[in-house]
């Protein structure tokens, strides 16, 4: 995709992270961007292309003359997600479903894939950060690199109903003396 004046971009870093901007001017390393609100036409921001995500969308030259028009146009993108982000085509990874066969130390697991092969998989950062427990028998979605098909990363977990019932049955406690004061 060619970068030109009027290209809509998304900021990847800084205070304006995940906000939509429009390119007013650019050189080989930097882009001059504005959003019509925090960065108006009179005070645009110089930002490295490294910190911008290019989209497939463009704004007309007529829109780039007024802050109000820029705000309205960019708001349309933010609300409706109309623009597609140009991303690298990562065909180096595949997603497969499997079942956890064995729980190993350090949040690693033996996972049996749909084709019957057993691989070693570790838990992804997002699941680890949200303290998602993975038990034996859970159905998981694993991402594997095409270069190493013996290892994977667990990105999604679906509970097995049998494990859920056993967990609830083991954690039921009966408190017979609750609230009574027998002297």
What topology does CATH give the domain 7-80?
Answer: SH3 type barrels. (2.30.30)
Residue 124's CB is within 10 A of a number of other CB atoms, namely 19
pLDDT in tens, 78-132: 665 545 555 555 567 889 999 999 999 998 999 999 989 999 999 999 999 999 9
**72-78 average pLDDT score:** 79
Rg (Cα) of the chain, in Å, rounded?
26
> What DSSP line would sit under the chain, residue for residue?
----TTEEEEE-SSTTTT-EEEEEEE-SSEEEEE-SSSS-TTS-EEEEGGGEEEEEEE--TTGGG-HHHHHHHHHHHHHH--SPBP----TTEEEEEEEEEEEETTTEEEEEETTS-EEEEEE-HHHHHTT----TT-EEEEEEETTEEEEEEEEEEE--HHHHHHHHHHT----TTTT----
At 175 the pLDDT is 46
pLDDT at 167: 46
pTM of the model: 0.45
Provide the pLDDT for residue 164: 47
pLDDT value of position 28: 84
Least confident interval from 71-75, 141-145, 147-151: 71-75
Fold of 93-169: OB fold (Dihydrolipoamide Acetyltransferase, E2P) (2.40.50)
CA distance 116 to 6: 51
Q: Could you tell me the CA-to-CA distances from 54 to 11, 16, 23, 33, 143 in Å, in that order?
A: 9, 15, 10, 12, 26
Q: Give residue 77's pLDDT.
A: 73
pLDDT above 80 (res 174): no
Residue 38 in tokens: 């925090």
Residue 138's pLDDT is 94
- CB atoms < 10 A from the CB of 111, how many? 25
Q: Which residue has the higher pLDDT, 166 or 145?
A: 145
In this structure, the number of other CB atoms found within 10 A of the CB of residue 180 comes to: 6
pLDDT at site 181: 55
Average per-residue pLDDT in the chain?
A: 81
- Flag whether pLDDT at 17 surpasses 90: no
Q: Domain boundaries in the chain?
A: 7-80, 93-169
Tell me whether residue 1 is exposed, middle or buried, using C-beta atoms within 10 angstroms of its C-beta: 0 to 12, 13 to 18, 19 or more: exposed
Averaged pLDDT, 63-88: 71
Residue 55 has pLDDT above 70, yes or no: yes
Average pLDDT over residues 32-51: 89
Contact, 125 vs 143, CB < 8 A?
no
Does residue 20 have a pLDDT over 60?
A: yes
In this prediction, residue 58 carries a pLDDT of: 82
């Amino acid at each position: 995709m060619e970068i030109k004046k009027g290209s809509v971009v998304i900021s990847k870093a800084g205070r304006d992270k995940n906000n939509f901007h429009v390119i007013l001017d650019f050189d080989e390393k930097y882009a001059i961007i504005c959003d019509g609100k925090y960065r108006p036409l009179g005070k645009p921001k110089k930002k490295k292309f490294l910190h911008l995500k290019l989209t497939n969308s463009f704004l007309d030259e007529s829109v780039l003359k007024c802050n109000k028009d820029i705000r309205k146009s960019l708001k349309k993108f933010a609300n409706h997600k109309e623009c597609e982000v140009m991303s690298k085509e990562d065909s180096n990874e595949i997603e497969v479903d499997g079942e956890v066969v064995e729980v190993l130390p350090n949040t690693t697991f033996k996972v049996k894939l749909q084709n019957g092969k057993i691989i070693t998989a570790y838990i992804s950062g997002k699941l680890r950060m949200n303290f998602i427990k993975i038990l034996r028998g859970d159905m998981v979605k694993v991402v594997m690199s095409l270069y190493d098909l013996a290892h994977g990363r667990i990105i999604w977990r679906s509970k097995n109903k049998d494990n859920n019932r056993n967990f609830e049955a083991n954690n039921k406690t009966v408190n017979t003396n609750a609230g009574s004061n027998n002297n």
